[in-house]
Amino acid sequence: MKPRHFITLEDLSSPEIRALIKRAGELKALDSIYEPLKNRVLGMIFEKSSTRTRVSFESGMMQLGGGAIFLSPRDTQLGRGEPLEDSARVLSRMVDGIMLRANCHRTVEIFAEYSRVPIINGLTDRFHPCQLLADLQTYFEHRGDIQGKRVAWIGDGNNMCQTYIHAAALLDFELVIACPSGYDPEAELIERYQAHVQLVREPQSAARNADLIVTDVWASMGQESEQNERKLAFKGYAVNQALMSLAASDALFMHCLPAHREEEVATEVLEGKQSVVWDEAENRLHAQKALLELLIAHA
């Protein structure tokens, strides 16, 4: 039987996402030993550096009774040109699940095609579904169901933004994306999900009456050489208190971190009362534990 993978948020149905968020909350509140993954092993392949993804998956596996193995292309045959298909075949005969943080989305898809065990997308250039599980859990914790709410994405139309597009369709909320021209999400995604997604140029238009404002760095990993160019392009797209004041009075602010203070977000917003970024970061652990339980323990 083919294993169940988590490559994009769309690999879960709307009821499954809500159930997973509920389960993540239960695991967060658990104060007793719970080891459904005892003797199970997660292989973790990192083509990019990581803090939250590595620590949350590694801690999550330990707390669920299992273990995790860190693998980088530099230390494995992947770095010497072994075909992805062969690596997927070999590794999936030795571990119970594989998480990849990859440069290219196609890498994760190829692993999924040839793996005997569940593949989890820990981030690619197109999507970051594990982060969205944590974001959604955090919103549900503070404000209840996100259905019918208005979410403003301010900044780059990157992998986080594109995963928010999936989330808007799956959980039925309005997503207004404010990007400078030339930094839009994929046009095909905007077209396909136009019932839930709107693209604007003015951050103020997106933020007005929003229930949640979200942003990310202007230059993601691998785009460091574009830093100065992007600073010019994104001038005016910083989330500051003036922008937050346009949102609903009980609006939340999220950022997947790391954050560049006084660049894409003002310190007064990041550290302010509306910010839930530290809960959001912690929930990477709990949401992923619920995901690991679903994909591996219940397989």
Binding site members for carbamoyl phosphate? 50-53, 77, 101, 128-131, 256-257, 284
Identity of the amino acid at 115: S
Rounded to the nearest 10 degrees, what angle do helices 277-292 and 14-29 cross at? 110
Active-site residue, selected from the candidate residues 96, 135, 156, 216 = 216
Q: Which residues are annotated as a binding site for L-ornithine?
A: 159, 216, 220-221
Query: What 3-state DSSP class applies to 254?
Result: strand
User: CA 37 to CA 181: how far, in whole Å?
Assistant: 46
Question: Which of 5, 18, 125, 131 is an active site residue?
Answer: 131
Residue found under tokens 């065990």: 117
Coil/strand/helix, residue 163: helix
Binding residues: 50-53, 77, 101, 128-131, 159, 216, 220-221, 256-257, 284
Query: Is 298 among the catalytic positions?
Result: no
Active site residue 128: yes
Q: Which of 5, 23, 101, 196 is catalytic?
A: 101
Residue 161 known to be catalytic: no
Instruction: Using CB atoms within 10 Å of the CB of residue 48, give its burial: 0 to 12 exposed, 13 to 18 middle, 19+ buried.
Output: middle
**Cβ atoms within 10 Å, residue 53:** 21
Q: Is the dihedral of CA 85, 36, 127, 52 positive or negative?
A: negative
Catalytic residue among 128, 166, 196, 230: 128
Catalytic: which of 162, 256, 274, 286? 256
Residues 40, 105, 166, 284: which is the catalytic one? 284
What one-character DSSP code corresponds to residue 224?
G
Mark whether 256 is an active-site residue: yes
Catalytic site positions: 101, 128, 131, 216, 256, 284
